[in-house]
Structure 1
Amino acid sequence: MEYKENVKKMIDDNTNQAQEIIQQKIEIWSNHVVFSGLWWFGVVLSIIPWLIWIKYRKKDSTDRILYAGFYVIIVSLCLDVVGDQFGFWHYRFNVMPVLPTYFPWDITLMPISVMFILQIKPAFNPVIKAILFALFSAYIAEPFFHWMGVYVLTGWKYSYSFPIQIIIYLIAHYLSRRERFSPFYIKK
């Protein structure tokens, strides 16, 4: 189907404007953000929790817990991008300038928190664990990052995050309990 030339031009113009804004963001980041205190804070938050998890994880459950953790990473990244693109929030002092998400939150803090909670008292009621996780995430962690000046709310309330965090945890819990994996066989 052939599109009208004016539609193609609008799309191309919009793409060019977006690329110009991204270039401005990279320039601001490289001149003012990289190597700042809050940038280093983000770098530390991106690395140290993973090192702690590697040391203190349940070694015999690593694969199972990582499976749930990767789910949390994917969902966190997707929701963060959507929230940023719709203007519900944005981040300052990003570790990497071109990502519209806060890398330490989506790639480290959310999944590591969930993975540790999954392995602590694994028989404990998952709904209670989900509520505790959501309370901490929505009403302590998010306000802390807002107070630090990293997380800027522009139409979002912490209470909106609460049920989302519960759902994220409960699905991660469900995924961590899956046992129906078939082995890979190499045919000779």
Structure 2
Amino acid sequence: MNELGKKIDKISNQLTDLRWEIWTKHSLFTWQWWMLLGLCIVVSILFIILIKKEKLVQTIAYFGIIFILNKYIDEIATALDWYDYRIQVQPGIIPSMLVANLFIIPMALSIIYQRYSKWKPFLIALGLFSIFTSYIALFFLKIVGIYLEKAWNAHWSCISLVVMGVIAKIVIDRVVLIQAHNNGDQSNSDPSSPIT
């Protein structure tokens, strides 16, 4: 077992070296790299502008759930070689896409969650965002050489975004209802009201 562990360490180190090389020599400061960095900045500014301060805590909690779910899906998918990112903003030793996991997906879904507290408009907005991201944005990222699709496809991407958004809404709405019940505040039982 010790010998196998040493082989795994050696291969892991070689993979890290190769990822670092592709990032420093073929990704860093390319136009695609600048585009991804710009997207991070634009989405962050929109998030700050559009966020409603009275719902900040539950929105940040929603953001956290989306971040965790999306990051784990991304890590599993890249580990199983379902897709890969050829160009990334962060150093290439991290195989998952930080731009999508920390900025675009959680921030966009958090804005949708905050803006549409009722289920029907929430599901419509979530569906439209998921379709746009999966069938248009990922297609564009494939064309410009940022995203390489293998066993994964746009359908799986769309389904995973919808499922993540729904799970996070159920969890946060439930927490808000439990808190309102525990506080004895029946008028604050609307899931769209802020956690205090």
**Band the TM-score falls in, shorter-chain normalisation:** 0.7 to 0.9
**Amino acid aligned to 2:112:** I
Asked if residue 134 in structure 1 is aligned to residue 114 in structure 2, the reply is no
Q: Could you say if the C-alpha distance between residues 119 and 8 of structure 1 is closer, same or farther in structure 2, counting changes exceeding 3 Å?
A: same
**Amino acid aligned to 2:35:** F
In 2, the alpha carbon distance for the partners of 1:170 and 1:66 equals: 16
What is the aligned partner in structure 1 of residue 16 from structure 2?
22
Pick the aligned partner of 1:81 from 58, 75, 80.
75
1:131 deviates by 2.6
1:124 deviates by 4.7
What is the aligned partner in structure 2 of residue 158 from structure 1?
154
In structure 2, list runs of 5 or more residues that go unmatched.
Answer: 184-196
In 2, the alpha carbon distance for the partners of 1:66 and 1:42 equals: 23
Please tell me whether the aligned partners of residues 118 and 173 of structure 1 are also in contact (alpha carbons under 8 angstroms).
Answer: yes
TM-score, reference length from structure 2: 0.82
Identity %: 20
Pick the aligned partner of 1:148 from 127, 144, 148.
144
In 1, the alpha carbon distance for the partners of 2:51 and 2:136 equals: 24
Pick the aligned partner of 2:112 from 104, 108, 117.
117
Asked if residue 66 in structure 1 is aligned to residue 60 in structure 2, the reply is yes
Could you list the runs of 4 or more consecutive aligned residues of structure 1 that deviate by over 3 angstroms after TM superposition? 126-130, 180-183
Residues matched between the structures, number: 177
In 2, the alpha carbon distance for the partners of 1:49 and 1:21 equals: 31
1:13 deviates by 0.8
Correspondences of 1:165-176 after superposition (within 5 Å)? 165-176=161-172
TM-score, reference length from structure 1: 0.85
**Amino acid aligned to 2:10:** N
Larger mean Cα displacement after TM superposition, 25-34 or 65-74: 25-34
In 2, the alpha carbon distance for the partners of 1:152 and 1:122 equals: 35
Q: Could you say if the C-alpha distance between residues 175 and 141 of structure 1 is closer, same or farther in structure 2, counting changes exceeding 3 Å?
A: farther
**Amino acid aligned to 2:145:** G
What is the aligned partner in structure 2 of residue 3 from structure 1?
none
In 2, the alpha carbon distance for the partners of 1:14 and 1:169 equals: 36
In structure 1, list runs of 5 or more residues that go unmatched.
Answer: 1-6, 184-188
Please tell me whether the aligned partners of residues 87 and 147 of structure 2 are also in contact (alpha carbons under 8 angstroms).
Answer: no
Asked if residue 103 in structure 1 is aligned to residue 83 in structure 2, the reply is no
What is the aligned partner in structure 2 of residue 44 from structure 1?
38
